[in-house]
Chains A and B, each alone.
Chain A
Amino acid sequence: MIRNKKAAAKASVLAAAAALLLAACGGAGVDAEASAAPTDAAEVAACGSYAIAMHAWVGYTASAQVVTEIAKANGCDISQVTLAEAGVTYDAMEAGSVDLVIEDWGGGRWQEWADRGALVQVGDNGNIGIIGMYVPQWMADENPDITDSANLNKYADLFVTDESKGKGAWYEGPPGYTTIGEKMISANKLNFTAISTGSEQALIDVFTKAAADKTPAIGYWYTPQNFLAKVPLARINFPANDWTDPEQASGLTDYPELPLQKLATPKVIDANDAFTKIVKNFTWTNDDQNEVAADIESGTDPAVAAQKWIDAHADIVAGWLK
């Protein structure tokens, strides 16, 4: 039996090798069918294959999906790679496993990678990112002075939970996001404990529950994000950062407004194909992004939602391809 099995194993290896050889030589008939399809052959040749980094938030998905659909329509071979924000993604770009970040919130964390030639800052993508700390609207209605950070300590007791060690629970953004909660707490001398939330969805749960059950909550949120249209939140006003002192890194009092960036690998810039044009020219407003994001959130397939926007804004898209 052992001998028989050995023979079988040998036979299977041989057969597999033969099959692969057969497959490799045969030329895929499927390809012939594909090129017979009504796509412009010249266009197909005009674009390379690229990987777009995908981040967790739905606004990012909206932007990346629109770029994906336009690039695919122009013959580019696009894959999407899910990764955490910033460092992880920059490393992936250095390794060549990702070519594009369409919406970077890192605020220049990529500089070291750019200096090494691993990635290129392509420019603003048109969206302005605002991160802040929010409470449900009903809290601001009942206590109008709560939106002034100077009064937060007065209300700290309202926010105490089992997790917050006797201080107010300050729901921080997910670990992959840009967060400076602890720096803000210490710079503003707040009686709060930063609690990391695992995901954007966890934050959404916290705010939705706080709005529906009228429970107190304070947490991280940002725009552009369609969620604010569904659950009204009030932003807490902190004193603006004093940027005159370059050593302020440990004294950040609030999140700055951030023009969001496009980052690409040198490969994208050098290729000078359709994808290069799309990446360089892509720019849209927070409203545009929210429009697509709203569709995705309500259950539309991201590709369909993106295509809907592309069809409705043919002139803008045509401008990106020039």
Chain B
Amino acid sequence: MSNTKETMFIAKPKKLKRGWLIAMLFAAWVVLAKIFQGQATLVLAVPEDTGVTTWAGNVAASIRANRSDGASFKYFFNPIREFIDGFVTGIREIIAIPAGDSSIPLLGWLGVIAVIGFVVYAVSHLRMAIAAVILVFACGALGLWTDSMDTLAMTLAAVIMSLLIGIPVGIWAGLSDRALKAVTPILDLAQILPTLVYLAPLALFFLIGPASATIATMVYSIPIAVRLTAFGIRGVPVSPVEAGTSMGTTKIQLLRKIQLPMSSRTIILGINQTVMAALSFVVIAALIGAPGLGKPVIDALIIRDVGGGFVAGIAVVLIAIMLDRSTSAAISIDESFVPAPASARRRRKLGLVSAGVATIICIVLSRQLAWAAYFPEQVDISKPVSNVTESSIFWITENFEFLTTGLAKAVTVGILNPLEGVLSNSPWFLTVAMISLLSLILGGLRSAFITLTLLLAIVASGLWFDTMVTFTQTIVATILTMLIGVVVGVWIGRSTRAERALRPILDAGQTLPAFVYLIPMLGFFGPSRFTGIATGIVYSIPIVVKIVGQGIREVPTNMIEAAISTGSTKWQLITKVQLPAAKKSLLLATNQGLIFVLAVVVIGGLVGAGGLGYLVIVGGSKPELQGKGLIAGFSILLLGLMIDRIAQYTVARNSAPKH
């Protein structure tokens, strides 16, 4: 205890000094911004270009011009596109789209459901298989059988190819330090890259269609497969590896007999995470022509069909639950080391054989009889579900308008507009200098240097003003997210019952595509910056709550007991002991919150939030603005990098051992 007191003693004056510095910096910033309001803001109207965006537009135009006979397209991009298109179409023809000359896919709906049930049964157990069958059937009952199957097929195709690339690279990075060093920066970059950013460049090379969508999904999910595979291989204890080496096994044997089997659990977890990542990409991939459930969601966004969007969103969540639970069940089966008794094994064998026979019968039926081939329209429950959703949203908008518009107005007038005045509506050099100084105080010299470089790169891109608009929205959304997230996080960190009650909601929140709740948000708040902010908050709260809750739970019990024994109140316990002790988690949560918010705030460009996201979207549909859209995407990346670097250096500085 005396030890803790001592460190607190040393740490306190330093922290106080830093707090003062930051406060003084902000005061100077606000005053200077007020004086120079509206000067040198580098504001650029949407149809206007700068040197850099014109250059990017010319590059894009020459790439487009090359698409039919340029050598790089003929021998590289087009063959890749055709190969992936063929692969995806092949999988889609099995379950989703009419195969060849036939009027149905290779499997009718009954066949698909039977195969899913059988595969899940084979890798896990009967209960999970029944659940999977019910979940898939529910997608059909929502009137979205074909779209659901398209989503399943697209996910499957992207996952197979991601694993074919990701697992070997992951094994390599697990075995070789040099390989790990080479891939780590790429993996880090991929993790902070907002998904909206790489759609346009991919579409430029691979055009609009399933191939582009699959490649975009792979960009998102391969890093996860690589990371977890490498992690699994590296987690294998040293002694079995040494034992193997001393017995003279070859490297291949070592890998096949010891390292891979011993890390299989982490690798299956990697597969699970890869599947979930691919699935979470479903909706945004529809922007570049992915077939499946993303289509009705985007449609619903454009005509603001809240009910329809919600129905499609539910189908995505059902498929997510199905895939998540069945791959997790496969992991848990792997865990048991106790061999099953002979009778149980015999029973299982019998079960597998009979299930296999039933599956084959279902497949044959699904190809011969219309009722088993086409999903029955009679069980369509999409209308009531969509009506109930719509009327409840309508009811909320009608009766709580004072609340929704009041909230939007309070945040817009109270925080957003003043902050925009400081960040985007003041001279660029002032903002650059102040953010760099802040980065210096928070993260040190190196952090400040990187921040300054990235900010100057943004200025050079010509999209400074729009970047600051997006940055302002990101900051406001993150502040609100942290306010809510810390309160809820502390609550679930302190109460197991609360944790258990909230976990399903948090899990669902993480799988529901942000687009789905963007639609009702648009209904609540109209086309405005706050709509994007509110969506960003909802999207990032689950991850923040989880990290904060975890941090609070990990505070050593002896610290808490000591505090209680000295008679501190509950409030004192939280503010003086638990929150300070969980400081690292709070910083980590802030970092994650910022990155998650940024990824969604840019989607706000679709609903009137302006900023970089709007430019990215406009650049996609207006050829003359394509260059500007591409540079806007790049600026989002620079902004994300800057946020991440400042946060990382701040975390590193705060968790460094004190001397």
| Residue ranges of A at the interface with B (Cβ–Cβ < 8 Å) | 1-2, 4-5, 8-9, 11-12, 15-16, 18-20, 22-24, 26-31, 33-34, 54, 56, 58, 77, 81-92, 94-98, 109, 112, 116-118, 162-163, 171, 174-176, 180, 182-183, 186, 194-202, 205-206, 250
Compute how far the CA of A33 lies from the CA of B369 in the bound complex, rounded to whole angstroms: 9
Stretch at the interface among B160-168, B276-284, B356-364, B578-586: B356-364
Is the pair B522, A198 in contact by a Cβ cutoff of 8 Å?
yes
Q: Give the contacts of B194-215 with A (CB-CB under 8 A).
A: 203, 206-212
Is the pair A5, B286 in contact by a Cβ cutoff of 8 Å?
no
Compute how far the CA of A180 lies from the CA of B94 in the bound complex, rounded to whole angstroms: 46
Q: Which residues of B contact A196 (CB under 8 A)?
A: 527, 605, 608, 610, 614
- Could you tell me the distance in whole angstroms from the C-beta of A229 to the nearest C-beta in chain B? 18
Is the pair A174, B370 in contact by a Cβ cutoff of 8 Å?
no
Decide yes or no whether B106 CB sits under 8 A from chain A.
yes
Residue in B211, B333, B622 whose CB lies within 8 Å of A86:
B622
Besides A86-B621, A87-B622, 8 new A-B residue pairs in contact (Cβ under 8 A), listed by A number: A23-B106, A31-B102, A34-B103, A88-B288, A95-B209, A116-B67, A162-B417, A163-B608
Compute how far the CA of A16 lies from the CA of B370 in the bound complex, rounded to whole angstroms: 22
Q: Which residues of B contact A82 (CB under 8 A)?
A: 286, 295, 298-299
Q: Which residues of A contact B360 (CB under 8 A)?
A: 15, 18-19, 22
Q: Which residues of B contact A194 (CB under 8 A)?
A: 46
Instruction: Write 8 A-B pairs (CB below 8 A) sorted by A numbering.
Output: A28-B102, A28-B103, A30-B374, A82-B299, A85-B621, A88-B208, A162-B528, A195-B527
Q: Which residues of A contact B348 (CB under 8 A)?
A: 4, 8
Q: Which residue of A lies closest to B107 (CB)?
A: A23
Compute how far the CA of A47 lies from the CA of B287 in the bound complex, rounded to whole angstroms: 29
- Could you tell me the distance in whole angstroms from the C-beta of B345 to the nearest C-beta in chain A? 6
Decide yes or no whether B303 CB sits under 8 A from chain A.
yes
Most buried by B among A2, A58, A201: A201
Is the pair B363, A22 in contact by a Cβ cutoff of 8 Å?
yes
Q: Which residues of A contact B302 (CB under 8 A)?
A: 56, 174, 176, 199-201
Is the pair B106, A198 in contact by a Cβ cutoff of 8 Å?
no
Is the pair B356, A11 in contact by a Cβ cutoff of 8 Å?
yes
Is the pair B370, A1 in contact by a Cβ cutoff of 8 Å?
no
Q: Which residue of A lies closest to B294 (CB)?
A: A82
CB within 8 Å for A30 and B623 given contacts A92-B209, A162-B409: no
Is the pair A83, B208 in contact by a Cβ cutoff of 8 Å?
yes
Is the pair B64, A112 in contact by a Cβ cutoff of 8 Å?
yes
Decide yes or no whether B639 CB sits under 8 A from chain A.
no
Decide yes or no whether B457 CB sits under 8 A from chain A.
no
Q: Which residues of B contact A84 (CB under 8 A)?
A: 287, 617, 620-621
Q: Which residues of A contact B104 (CB under 8 A)?
A: 28, 30-31
Is the pair A11, B352 in contact by a Cβ cutoff of 8 Å?
yes
- Could you tell me the distance in whole angstroms from the C-beta of A180 to the nearest C-beta in chain B? 7
Q: Which residues of A contact B538 (CB under 8 A)?
A: none
Residue in A20, A109, A175, A202 whose CB lies within 8 Å of B106:
A20
Residue in B45, B108, B352, B607 whose CB lies within 8 Å of A30:
B108
Is the pair A198, B356 in contact by a Cβ cutoff of 8 Å?
no
Decide yes or no whether B628 CB sits under 8 A from chain A.
no
Compute how far the CA of A97 lies from the CA of B528 in the bound complex, rounded to whole angstroms: 34
Q: Which residues of A contact B101 (CB under 8 A)?
A: 31
Compute how far the CA of A84 lies from the CA of B624 in the bound complex, rounded to whole angstroms: 15
Q: Which residue of A lies closest to B101 (CB)?
A: A31
Residue in B108, B289, B412, B623 whose CB lies within 8 Å of A87:
B623
Interface of A is mostly: helix
- Could you tell me the distance in whole angstroms from the C-beta of B84 to the nearest C-beta in chain A? 12
- Could you tell me the distance in whole angstroms from the C-beta of A21 to the nearest C-beta in chain B? 10
Is the pair B367, A83 in contact by a Cβ cutoff of 8 Å?
no
Q: Which residues of A contact B610 (CB under 8 A)?
A: 195-196
Residue in B123, B287, B527 whose CB lies within 8 Å of A9:
B123
Q: Which residues of A contact B621 (CB under 8 A)?
A: 84-88, 175-176
Which 4 residue pairs spanning A and B have beta carbons closest together?
A198-B607, A201-B304, A95-B207, A97-B209
Is the pair B203, A88 in contact by a Cβ cutoff of 8 Å?
yes
CB within 8 Å for A5 and B334 given contacts A29-B369, A97-B209, A176-B621: yes
Compute how far the CA of A37 lies from the CA of B373 in the bound complex, rounded to whole angstroms: 16
- Could you tell me the distance in whole angstroms from the C-beta of A65 to the nearest C-beta in chain B? 14
Decide yes or no whether B339 CB sits under 8 A from chain A.
yes
Compute how far the CA of A112 lies from the CA of B64 in the bound complex, rounded to whole angstroms: 9
Q: Which residues of A contact B261 (CB under 8 A)?
A: 2
Decide yes or no whether B413 CB sits under 8 A from chain A.
yes
Q: Which residues of B contact A197 (CB under 8 A)?
A: 527, 607-608
Compute how far the CA of A83 lies from the CA of B203 in the bound complex, rounded to whole angstroms: 13
Most buried by A among B261, B374, B624: B624
Q: Which residue of B lies closest to A86 (CB)?
A: B621
Q: Which residue of B lies closest to A85 (CB)?
A: B621
CB within 8 Å for A92 and B522 given contacts A19-B363, A109-B622, A171-B527: no
Compute how far the CA of A175 lies from the CA of B340 in the bound complex, rounded to whole angstroms: 60
Q: Which residues of A contact B304 (CB under 8 A)?
A: 199, 201-202, 205
- Could you tell me the distance in whole angstroms from the C-beta of B568 to the nearest C-beta in chain A? 44
Is the pair A250, B123 in contact by a Cβ cutoff of 8 Å?
no
Is the pair B47, A250 in contact by a Cβ cutoff of 8 Å?
yes
Q: Which residue of B lies closest to A81 (CB)?
A: B289
Compute how far the CA of A116 lies from the CA of B623 in the bound complex, rounded to whole angstroms: 15
Is the pair B522, A8 in contact by a Cβ cutoff of 8 Å?
no
Q: Which residues of A contact B144 (CB under 8 A)?
A: none
Q: Which residues of A contact B369 (CB under 8 A)?
A: 29-30
- Could you tell me the distance in whole angstroms from the C-beta of B101 to the nearest C-beta in chain A? 8
Q: Which residues of B contact A198 (CB under 8 A)?
A: 301, 522, 527, 531, 606-608
Is the pair B359, A19 in contact by a Cβ cutoff of 8 Å?
yes
- Could you tell me the distance in whole angstroms from the C-beta of B159 to the nearest C-beta in chain A? 16
- Could you tell me the distance in whole angstroms from the C-beta of A253 to the nearest C-beta in chain B? 14
- Could you tell me the distance in whole angstroms from the C-beta of B418 to the nearest C-beta in chain A? 12
- Could you tell me the distance in whole angstroms from the C-beta of A97 to the nearest C-beta in chain B? 4
Q: Which residue of B lies closest to A203 (CB)?
A: B527
- Could you tell me the distance in whole angstroms from the C-beta of A144 to the nearest C-beta in chain B? 29
Mark contacts of B610-631 with chain A using CB atoms, 8 A cut-off: 1 yes-contact digit, 0 otherwise.
1000100110111110100000
Q: Which residues of B contact A83 (CB under 8 A)?
A: 208, 289
Compute how far the CA of A219 lies from the CA of B104 in the bound complex, rounded to whole angstroms: 46
- Could you tell me the distance in whole angstroms from the C-beta of B15 to the nearest C-beta in chain A? 37
Mark contacts of B503-524 with chain A using CB atoms, 8 A cut-off: 1 yes-contact digit, 0 otherwise.
0000000000000000000100
Compute how far the CA of A175 lies from the CA of B526 in the bound complex, rounded to whole angstroms: 15
Compute how far the CA of A44 lies from the CA of B118 in the bound complex, rounded to whole angstroms: 37
- Could you tell me the distance in whole angstroms from the C-beta of A10 to the nearest C-beta in chain B? 9
- Could you tell me the distance in whole angstroms from the C-beta of B151 to the nearest C-beta in chain A? 14
- Could you tell me the distance in whole angstroms from the C-beta of A159 to the nearest C-beta in chain B? 14
Q: Which residues of B contact A34 (CB under 8 A)?
A: 103
Residue in A12, A24, A28, A202 whose CB lies within 8 Å of B527:
A202
Is the pair B367, A91 in contact by a Cβ cutoff of 8 Å?
no
Is the pair A56, B46 in contact by a Cβ cutoff of 8 Å?
no
Q: Which residues of B contact A8 (CB under 8 A)?
A: 122-123, 348, 352
Q: Which residues of B contact A12 (CB under 8 A)?
A: 118-119, 122-123
Is the pair B370, A30 in contact by a Cβ cutoff of 8 Å?
yes
CB within 8 Å for A91 and B207 given contacts A23-B107, A84-B621: yes
Q: Which residues of A contact B118 (CB under 8 A)?
A: 12, 15-16
Q: Which residue of A lies closest to B212 (CB)?
A: A95
Compute how far the CA of A180 lies from the CA of B526 in the bound complex, rounded to whole angstroms: 22
Q: Which residue of A lies closest to B604 (CB)?
A: A198
Is the pair B122, A11 in contact by a Cβ cutoff of 8 Å?
yes
Compute how far the CA of A22 lies from the CA of B357 in the bound complex, rounded to whole angstroms: 13
Q: Which residues of B contact A91 (CB under 8 A)?
A: 203, 207-208
Most buried by A among B81, B298, B621: B621
Compute how far the CA of A162 lies from the CA of B413 in the bound complex, rounded to whole angstroms: 7
Is the pair A1, B339 in contact by a Cβ cutoff of 8 Å?
yes
Decide yes or no whether B232 CB sits under 8 A from chain A.
no
Q: Which residues of B contact A162 (CB under 8 A)?
A: 409, 412-413, 417, 528
Q: Which residues of B contact A250 (CB under 8 A)?
A: 47
Residue in A16, A116, A163, A175 whose CB lies within 8 Å of B614:
A175
Is the pair B46, A182 in contact by a Cβ cutoff of 8 Å?
yes
Q: Which residue of B lies closest to A198 (CB)?
A: B607
